[in-house]
Amino acid sequence: MKKCARCGDEHDRVKDCYCKPCRTLYAREWRLKNPEAQRAFKKRWEAEHPEEVKAQKRRSYQKDLERSREHQRRRRAEAPEVFAEYAKTAKKRIAERGGYGYYRHGITIEQRAAFTEAQNGVCPFCEKPLDEVKVHVDHDHETGLLRGLLCHTCNTRLGWYETRMKLVDEYLAGPHVAPGAVKRRRGPNRTTEA
């Protein structure tokens, strides 16, 4: 047991003459007295350890999701012009990587590549190459499960069909009227019955 030089108590683990509570207290006091030096140290450490910083921010955000989102809403309400400018640059950065739609749905660029490979690089409906068209992440709106990648046209049509599926099925299965006279066109604006 050693005696702490700061508080005078005896502790099992005394390092540099101070016990752990006293070292913590000393560090806190130093940070308060030297804010510029603390900021410089933090900035340098974050520059040297970007992956650890990113992981810590992700953990902090996920730890209390509702608190994090409330903080974002409050900051956005306080300075909407700052967030509008940030949103422009963020969307631009993500678009340069080719991933805004994927970011919205929570998939990575690597997962997108896996989807593309599984679909042989084409839209499953119209078979247009995905690298030549605007690509959308197709997902089930009720369950949130991802189904694949579609071109813009097919994604729009599928969305239209999903919202009117019951009506379309009823119409196709419903009673049909007997065929009427077939009109054939002869030249512009001329029709005759067959």
Question: What residues have CB less than 8 Å from 6, skipping those under 6 apart?
Answer: 17, 18, 19, 22, 25, 26
Q: Name the pTM for this structure.
A: 0.42
pLDDT grade for 84, boundaries at 50, 70 and 90: confident
- Give mean pLDDT, residues 43-56: 93
- Please check the confidence at residue 173 and state whether its pLDDT lies above 80: yes
Q: How many domains does the chain have?
A: 3
Q: What is the mean pLDDT of the chain?
A: 82
User: Which domain, by its residues, includes 29?
Assistant: 15-61
Cα(114)–Cα(97) distance, rounded to whole angstroms? Answer: 16
Is residue 90 assigned to a domain?
yes
Query: Is there a contact between 125 and 150 (Cβ–Cβ < 8 Å)?
Result: yes
Beta strands in the chain (DSSP E): 2-3, 10-11, 135-139, 146-151, 183-185, 191-193
pLDDT grade for 140, boundaries at 50, 70 and 90: confident
With 0-12 / 13-18 / 19 or more C-beta atoms within 10 angstroms meaning exposed / middle / buried, residue 132 is exposed
Is residue 165 assigned to a domain?
yes
Question: Based on the domain organization, do 79 and 130 belong to the same domain?
Answer: no
pLDDT given at position 194: 45
**Could you tell me what percent of the chain has a pLDDT over 70?**
81
Is residue 91 assigned to a domain?
yes
Q: How far is CA 40 from the centre of its chain?
A: 31
- Give mean pLDDT, residues 11-20: 69
Question: Based on the domain organization, do 109 and 165 belong to the same domain?
Answer: yes
CATH number of the domain encompassing residue 147: 3.40.1800.10
Is residue 8 assigned to a domain?
no
